[in-house]
Every structure is written in structure tokens, then in C-alpha cells.
Amino acid sequence: MAQLNMVQALNTALHELFAADPRVLLMGEDVGKNGGVFRVSEGLFDQFGGTRVIDTPLAESGIIGTAIGLAVGGMRPIAEIQFMGFLYPGLDQLFSHAGRLRARSMERVTVPLVVRMPYGGGIRAPEQHADSAEAYLTHTPGLKVVVPSTPYDAKGLLYAAVEDPDPVIFLEPIRMYRLGRMEVPEGRFTVPIGQARIAREGQDLTLISWGAMTHLALTVAEDWASRGISIEVLDMRTLAPLDREAIGRSVAKTGRCVIVHEAPRTGGLAGEITALIMETAFWSLKAPVARVTGFDVPYPAYAWEDFYMPNAERLTKAIVDTLKD
């Protein structure tokens, strides 16, 4: 089995999906000969040509809006937005149409669309290239939102997203693109949308994370293991719909929970997950749920990035507080 990083896993999945289904298309800025700014579509243009690997005009609403029409019309488009910070002109298409057309048409029209985009910070990118805007999307009925944190999940979730009959937003944590390799099987396999993954089993506290924050959570959990504290890391993988069962099961077991995300705190998903814990595991809680998040400031230029991003120190402090009885 091949040892792949996340970019290679996504690239492999795209090649396989293109070969298996002639309806599958990729469209976006620089996805063609350039292979995407992160090289996720490397080689795809040479193999499948410009009618399926489509360099578009530089217009996010146009990309997503046109992809909606292609999806309704029988194709399986994958739209790429170059960075999540540039998604905002396309949000209207997601809010007003992609998430509503099935319901508004009483299912006469469906939108089997995938919108991929690199997201998140931590790589010293230029301003506005590091946003984590997932909460806008999870708040929108009709959309599904997934975030792999490993190469294996990236491939399996991309298969699931392309085969899904509903619009799926596919967030790719930039920091994880080339951070580590793992065995990724050849050929088709899916990671089901809506299922979290226990990235590390533990008994004393649940750390809930997604994307690049899962990497941080695992590092910190490892550190605590040497001190005799067993931390469970729950990698959500899907943010809409949230795997409520998995959250409830883990927190009911450990009785303590810290949620970590890069996005700003107010209105961030940690609040929603906390509410789900109130519904599913309140009577098992031994301490208040804590959250470690980005701050309620615009994602800063990179000189301030280390202040903004949740790190081991902040996470450790929250864990110490949560472990107090």
C-alpha cells in the first residue's frame, strides 16, 4: 500500500474518480495545467483534458453558480475555491440556491455538487488566506460539511462527497496537506459522511477537534499520557451533520470535554457541540465544558498568527482547568 500525504491522497482520489465516472468534472482557478495552487489536481489536466479539468474565469460566485447548473443538468462537478478566505462572493450561491433547491423543488431538482477548498491557518500565508469559516456553512440548511485530518480520510471522504446526492463542502486543512504520510489503499473506499472518528482512545477527558487541530489534540494527548492521564481525541471529520451520538458517547464515558477549533469563538461550532453535550451527556459531566479557539478578531497577518492559533500551551491550560474537580 502506498504511503501518501494528504495532497497525494486527494490527487489519487481525483484520478480514480475521473476514470470511473465521465460525469465528474473539476472546475476552478488554476486547476488545469497548473494543477491547482497546492497541486491537488496535478496531472489531471494532462490525463483528462480541458473539457473536464476546467480553468474558469476568476469569479467565485460564477464558479459555484455554474457548478450548480452543471450538477442539476446531470454532471458531477467538483468546484474548487482557491482559499476559503475567497469563498465569500460564492456564499450567496450556497445559501440561496445549493442548500435550497432540493426543498424548493420538492426534490424535482437536486444538486450533487462538491465544493473543495483549502482552509485554516498556521503556514505563514498572506493575509486572508487562512480563514476558518465553517460556521457560516454549518448554519446553512441543505449543505453537508466535511473536514478530513488525515490522508486516508481525505480520500475516503472525497469519494463519499462526490457520490453524495446533496451538496457537500469539502474543507482541506492547509497545514495538513503535506504533514505526514500514511498508508492509503488504492481504489474506491468511502469514509461515511456524518461519522466522527476516535483518533485516540482515552478514559479521563474528551478532546474534540477537526482538521489541523486534530494534529494538535493528538500531540497534547500524547504528552498527558506520560503523566498518567488518558485523553480521548474525537476527530469530528463531518461538521454538518454533526455526529451527536459519538460526542455523547465519548463525553458520557469521560465526563470531561475540551473543544478546540481555529475559527473565532463567538458563534463557532464549539458552542453548538457544547449544547449537544448538554442534551446527551449533561448528567455525566464532572466539570464544565471548555473551549480553546481562535479569538474574535479578524485572522491576523502572520506576525500575530502564533498568538491567534490555539496551541499546546492554551490547550494544556484548558485541560488542567477541566481536570480539577
Partner 1 sequence: MEAWPIYRVMGDEANAPNEVSDDLALRIYKDMVLLRTFDEKTLNLQHQGRVGTFAPSLGQEATEIGSAYALSKQDWLVPSYRDHGALYVHGVPFENVILFAMGRAGSLAGDVRALPSSIPIATHLPHAVGLAMAMQMQGEQAIAIAYFGDGGTSEGDFHEALNFAGVFKAPVVFLCQNNGWAISVPVSRQTGSPTLAQKAVAYGISGIRVDGNDALAVYQAVKQARERALSGGGATLIEAITYRIGPHTTADDPTRYRSSEDLVPWKGEQDPITRLGRYLEKQGILAESDLDQLRQEARDWINQAVEATEALPPANAAEMFEHVYSVMPPRLAQQLAELEGGADPWHS
Cell representation of residue 61 = 460566485
Phi and psi of 115, rounded to 5°? Answer: -115, 110
Nearer to partner 1, 174 or 246 (CB): 246
Cα 262 from Cα 175, distance rounded (Å): 12
Q: Is 256 within 8 Å of 204 (Cβ atoms)?
A: yes
Q: In what order do the strands lie in the sheet with 205-209?
A: 197-200, 231-235, 205-209, 257-264, 290-294
Calpha distance 191→137 (Å, rounded) = 20
Stretch that binds partner 1, among 92-100, 146-154, 302-310, 316-324 (CB under 8 A): 92-100
Binding mask 148-177 for partner 1 (x = CB under 8 A): ----------------xxx-----------
Nearer to partner 1, 163 or 305 (CB): 163
Binding to partner 1 in span 207-226, by CB under 8 A: none
Q: Residue holding cell 431538482?
A: 109
**Stretch of 95-103, 128-136, 152-160, 251-259 contacting partner 1, by CB under 8 A:** 95-103
DSSP letter for each residue of 261-272: EEEESTT-HHHH
Q: Does 319 bind partner 1 (CB under 8 A)?
A: no
* Residue 51 in contact with partner 1, rule: CB under 8 A: yes
Residue 61 in contact with partner 1, rule: CB under 8 A: yes
Cβ–Cβ under 8 Å, residues 147 and 171: yes
Cell numbers for 227 = 503523566
By CB under 8 A, residue 96 contacts partner 1: yes
Residue whose C-alpha is closest to residue 146's, from 125, 121, 173: 173
- In the list 39, 42, 110, 182, the residue contacting partner 1 (rule: CB under 8 A) is 110
In sequence order, the β-bridge partners of residue 116 are 80, 170
- Judged by beta carbon, residue 127 or residue 279, the one nearer partner 1 is 279
CB of 183 to partner 1, least distance (A): 31
Contact call for residue 303 and partner 1 (CB under 8 A): no
How buried is 73 (Cβ within 10 angstroms: 0-12 exposed, 13-18 middle, 19+ buried)? exposed
> Where in the sequence numbering do the catalytic residues fall?
129
DSSP-assigned letter for residue 16: H
Q: Which residue in 244, 249, 253, 286 binds partner 1 (CB under 8 A)?
A: 244
Q: Which amino acid is at 144?
A: K
Q: Which of residues 256-285 bind partner 1 (CB under 8 A)?
A: 279-280
Max distance between CA atoms of the chain, in angstroms, equals 61
Per-residue interface string for the shown chain with partner 1, residues 112-141, x marking contact by CB under 8 A: -----------------------------x
Binder of partner 1 out of 3, 34, 105, 219 (CB under 8 A): 105
Given the rule CB under 8 A, which residues bind partner 1?
Answer: 51, 56-57, 59, 61-62, 64-75, 77, 89, 92-93, 96-97, 101-110, 141-142, 144, 164-166, 194, 241-242, 244-245, 279-280
